[in-house]
């Protein structure tokens, strides 16, 4: 999963029928671990009703759609948790 901040919501009238009734949010990643996705935003399915400004954990890839109950959803990013608190190690450990 990756850590990110919700920066907005996305609406669309014309969309794939599998995406009906799914709220989509725009997330700005705090860190990336996959260089293939080195962009400044990510559109994720949101079933936790997040608000702009909240930090979230986003699950990417195939597991992101099992949450929805079917492998055929055209989705590969889902909000998994809303962050309450983050604790980091000392600077020496983090480097």
Partner 1 sequence: MILGSVIGQVWGAQRSAQLGPEKMLLVAVLGAPGADGERVASGRVVVALDDLGARIGETVTVTWGSGARAVLKAPENRKVLADAAIARIVDGSSAGEE
**Distance set, CA 55 to CA 6, 14, 18, 34, 83 (Å):** 6, 29, 27, 19, 5
Give the shortest CB-14-to-partner 1 separation in angstroms: 28
Q: Considering the complex, state which of residue 17 and residue 69 has its C-beta at the smaller distance from partner 1.
A: 69
Residue 12 neighbours by CB under 8 Å, 6+ apart: 19, 24
H/E segment holding residue 91: helix 91-94
Q: Considering the complex, state which of residue 14 and residue 85 has its C-beta at the smaller distance from partner 1.
A: 85
H/E segment holding residue 48: none
Give the shortest CB-62-to-partner 1 separation in angstroms: 5
Window of 5-13, 14-22, 74-82 that interacts with partner 1 by CB under 8 A: 74-82
- Return residues touching partner 1 (CB under 8 A): 1-3, 30-33, 35, 47-48, 56-57, 59-64, 66-67, 69, 78-89, 93-95
């Amino acid at each position: 999963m990756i850590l990110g901040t919700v920066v907005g919501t996305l609406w669309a009238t014309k969309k794939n029928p599998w995406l009906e009734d799914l709220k989509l949010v725009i997330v700005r990643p705090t860190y990336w671990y996959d260089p293939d996705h080195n962009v400044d935003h990510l559109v994720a399915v949101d079933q936790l009703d997040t608000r702009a400004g909240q930090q979230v954990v986003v699950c990417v890839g195939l597991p992101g759609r099992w949450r929805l109950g079917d492998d055929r959803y055209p989705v590969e990013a889902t909000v998994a948790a809303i962050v309450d608190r983050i604790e980091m190690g000392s600077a020496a450990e983090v480097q």
